[in-house]
Amino acid sequence: MSDATRRYRDGTMDTSPRPMARTFKPRRRRLGSQRSAVYERLTPLFALSETGSFLDLDEVFAGRHPICVEIGSGNGDLASLYAQTHPRAGLIAIDVHRPGIARLLADIDSDGLDNLRVVEGDALNFIDRLPDASVDEVWAFFPDPWPKNAQAHRRLVTPERIARVARVLKPGGSLRLATDVATYATQMRKVLAADSNFVSVKDERPSWRIETHFEREGRERGRAAVDLCATRQ
């Protein structure tokens, strides 16, 4: 059953529009006074709103290319390093958790990363602000796995959600995914293989994808990471 429908006990269906289930687990962490001050000062300068009208990414990034979007940037280690080592690229890092966003804002300020922007909010809401075929790459490394069967509908990689992501990718663009949960890796392969928006799906870990703290913990517990790259038609 989709997120937009509900069956009543008498067998009738409620098909009225309903918000889709969240793909992330809310976590609340407070900012210290110093980080809070950084957040308040820099958000107006380097943050993009979760919702609103279509964005002109050439204007946002002053013509930089390629343009990449990271869904779930966490503490920002990868986004910060990528922006430093790829100064000609534009990167949008999206996360719902404020401490990671605040840390990225501090990095933008201290390291002069004018090719990096942040979004605090739901990536799927923000994706709707991007024009068709406007992004070269979308990354979702280790999205919340939702391992229980009753939670599987919350996963980011479902046919409906991946179709929304595919819309913003340029022809030949890449959707990069990673997980260390075997059942999720299987689901990712099936969803991508069945989506006609993509012409190929291969196992490929980009050289610039660093090992995160959570990935390292999983590896030490015996979980192997699987990286997939799907190419947009």
Which residues lie below 8 Å from residue 40, measured CB to CB, with a gap of 6+?
none
Mark whether 122 is an active-site residue.
no
Q: pLDDT tens-digit profile of 150-207?
A: 888 999 999 999 999 999 999 999 999 999 999 999 999 999 999 999 999 999 999 9
Provide the residue range defining the domain that includes 193. Answer: 141-233
Shared domain check, 182 and 114: no
Q: How open is the CA angle 114-119-121, to the nearest 5 degrees?
A: 170
Shared domain check, 148 and 108: no
Q: pLDDT tens-digit profile of 55-82?
A: 999 999 999 999 999 999 999 999 999 9
Query: Which of the residues 3, 77, 128, 144 is marked catalytic?
Result: 144
Shared domain check, 116 and 183: no
Domain at 218, CATH number = 3.40.50.150
Shared domain check, 147 and 125: no
The total of structural domains in the chain comes to 2
Shared domain check, 162 and 125: no
**Is pTM, for the whole model, over 0.75?**
yes
Shared domain check, 233 and 147: yes
Shared domain check, 188 and 115: no
Shared domain check, 146 and 121: no
Shared domain check, 122 and 169: no
Average pLDDT, whole number, for the chain?
91
